A and B are shown apart, each in its own frame.
Chain A
């Protein structure tokens, strides 16, 4: 090896550099992918939770996602709140807004499946237009709550990304414990397995659904806040974030929270790899290609329930 290196110094040098570059690239995909996956897991798990309990396709889920970021930004810049407090308040506002939205516009049309999709889509578009008119179409970032970088080997990683990942994972674990361990969570699981049976057992499914919508919206809003810390929030994310959420929930299996968390990391990594290697403009194609591939190979997803 040494002799080879001495004979072809340039080639060897190139090899080392190439190796370093590959390590850096891999590290970047590893960390960036984890951050993105964590954020998408927050959106997708809420989306699939609502679907599981009520069979509602909530097209306004992306609106909750991005509203979390914009409310937070508005609180910081508008009344000069500190970032942590404004994150919490904005998440709660979005949760309440979602519950109010469910009560006022989804609940009256629940029997008409087409109308549910139409009203939630229309609501999402209203949010998009209002954000467009108040904040403009350019991306806005959330003021970082954590500065600095972490050095792993030779690669610099902003500590913000690690923080985002940590928060996302904590939130997902909390969701997991809530669903599996608390009474309310178990009731929600029961309702998602069989709404009618749950109703016969004396559960107030409508109340459970409002709780589910509230929790899902909070998760989405948290995802939005975290997203705006790393990337920039823009009004078009209202619908664009849904594309990837769809790919995730279809891969994970519609209605399965566990499946959607696993799928979020698969989709997130594929997406990041494509973005890092080929550029962001191909991301929509990745989502479509993934969805088509899943539908052809395994339509029920990883852990999905079969539709009646």
Chain B
């Protein structure tokens, strides 16, 4: 089996992989219960988040703790583009007359908005060495949540607002599932191509040795910012798609728990591998929202102060200690040794 896989070349393997994913996804959607299909669609979108986080952290080596903010920016951009009446009676009254644009255009705008914010933050923080990028991105979620609360007339405060079922990705849940699947495949293939191109090679050089990268003539700041823009853009697109998947938008969805889930997915899969975060994302999201639900009631009966989040955080710490380079990498090494 292994020999057979080795004999086909890299490009074929990629296409084979996509075909296998497509085949399994279609089979699952035919036979699994509706609720599972709904969660699985969200899982596909979550995978884009994990992979896009991997570009800035795993490839360019810059620790981004505010990825969910870019998801949120994409989400609110598309939600407000679709429901411009939210602006009525506020300072931004003039925006309430915006013409209605197609859903997919506004999803794209969500990505662009996130990319622009990523560019602005990146230009200021990534030209410095050291920890400034991590510190600034770490406080972004607080700023984001606070903004949605202060401007609650527009953003709907902590509850958020509904964009209406008629603006969903597709009228049926199966349709939404397939669109999420398509979006994931397209995004992952684009990101995969980027990191395996010369640009991706330069990202890795920047990660491995800044001085060396500069010595061989790479403008490290530009490449760090570029990686951040790409990462933020896909986060924004995904955030926008999630809004049209769920038909609502609220700041709680883009808070730190989601960030930790993304980190967990990337850590399980292994940073800087693209494929790792895909598998990690699949495992983590399904575990969190399909299997773990209710599994912890045993603990609460025992009177221990434990909830699903705590279990996830403990798993994360344990994984980080046991397999800091990624569980998937470890498994693969184990398989190739035996």
Contact = CB atoms under 8 A, between A and B. Distances in A.
A254 interface: yes
Nearest to A130: B305
Given A133-B306, A281-B146, A296-B124, A126 B63 contact: no
Interface string A94-124: 0000000000010011011111011101110
A72 to B, nearest CB: 18
A134 interface: yes
Contact of A250 (B135, B306, B307): B135
B134 A287 contact: no
A295 B136 contact: yes
Interface stretch (B17-25, B95-103, B163-171, B310-318): B310-318
A117 B65 contact: yes
Interface string A229-248: 00000000001101100100
Interface in B132-163: 132, 134-136, 138-140, 142-143, 146, 149-150
Interface in A234-272: 239-240, 242-243, 246, 250, 254
Contacts of B263: 118
A119 B324 CA distance: 11
B313 A57 contact: no
A284 B65 CA distance: 16
A113 B130 CA distance: 11
Given A123-B317, A295-B128, A115 B256 contact: no
Interface string B53-68: 0000100000101000
B150 to A, nearest CB: 6
B81 interface: no
A123 to B, nearest CB: 7
Contact of A299 (B132, B257, B305, B320): B132
A114 B267 CA distance: 10
B247 interface: no
B264 to A, nearest CB: 9
Interface string A125-141: 11001100110000000
A98 B30 CA distance: 51
A287 B142 CA distance: 11
Contact of B316 (A122, A130, A254, A307): A122
B143 A284 contact: yes
A246 B65 contact: no
Interface residues of A, number: 41
Contact of A291 (B139, B142, B313): B139
**Interface residues of chain A: helix, strand, loop or mixed (majority):** helix
Interface of B is mostly: helix
Interface in B33-69: 57, 63, 65
A113 B124 CA distance: 22
B142 A239 contact: yes
A119 B142 CA distance: 20
A243 B306 contact: no
Interface in B267-309: 267, 271, 305-307, 309
Contacts of B309: 125, 129
B70 to A, nearest CB: 16
B260 A109 contact: no
Nearest to A281: B150
A125 B142 contact: no
A285 interface: yes
B313 A284 contact: no
A105 B317 contact: yes
A57 B131 contact: yes
B129 interface: yes
Nearest to B131: A57
B139 A109 contact: no
Contacts of B314: 122, 126
Contacts of B57: 114
A285 B263 CA distance: 26
Nearest to A124: B313
18 contacts: A113-B63, A115-B324, A117-B63, A117-B134, A118-B263, A119-B317, A122-B316, A122-B317, A123-B313, A123-B317, A125-B309, A130-B310, A254-B130, A281-B146, A284-B146, A295-B125, A295-B128, A307-B131
Q: Which 3 residue pairs are nearest across A and B when measured between Cβ atoms?
A: A307-B130, A133-B305, A122-B313
Interface of B: 57, 63, 65, 124-125, 128-132, 134-136, 138-140, 142-143, 146, 149-150, 256-257, 260, 263, 267, 271, 305-307, 309-310, 313-314, 316-317, 320-321, 324-325
Given A129-B313, A295-B124, 20 more contacts: A109-B320, A111-B324, A112-B325, A114-B271, A118-B316, A122-B317, A123-B317, A125-B256, A125-B313, A129-B307, A133-B307, A239-B142, A242-B139, A254-B131, A281-B150, A288-B139, A291-B135, A295-B128, A299-B132, A307-B130
